[in-house]
Structure 1
């Protein structure tokens, strides 16, 4: 259980660090990616990008 929490935490850190680069590539601006401001904080829900990245990961896993 602890191992999975560490993996999820590291994955979130990696995505946070790469978010600026991913936005330049075009992820984060797809239909289904929601960005709104609530109580002075910007909240970003990348639903469309998540679906796209999971499809790419599934295709890579199927090939390998």
Structure 2
């Protein structure tokens, strides 16, 4: 558990340091993400982004448990 928490902390730190470059990646605007705009209403439902994040996190957790 300690390894996982330290690794996640380092990952968040790295993401914060590299944010100017990470913001240019079209992550969060992938095909399959639903975005509806109407008068006074804005809905964003990131289906594909959520699946991708889930797959990457599952892979990382699986690798750390080995």
Using structure 2 for the length normalisation, give the TM-score. 0.56
Count how many residue pairs are aligned between Structure 1 and Structure 2: 44
For the pair shown, the structure with the greater C-alpha radius of gyration is: 2
Using structure 1 for the length normalisation, give the TM-score. 0.57
CA RMSD of aligned residues (A): 2.0
Greater percentage in helix:
1
Contact residue 33 and residue 46 of structure 1 kept, 8 A:
yes
Q: What displacement does 1:23 show?
A: 5.8
> Which structure 2 segments of 5+ residues have no match?
1-19
> Which structure 1 segments of 5+ residues have no match?
1-20
Residues 1:42 and 2:56 aligned together: no
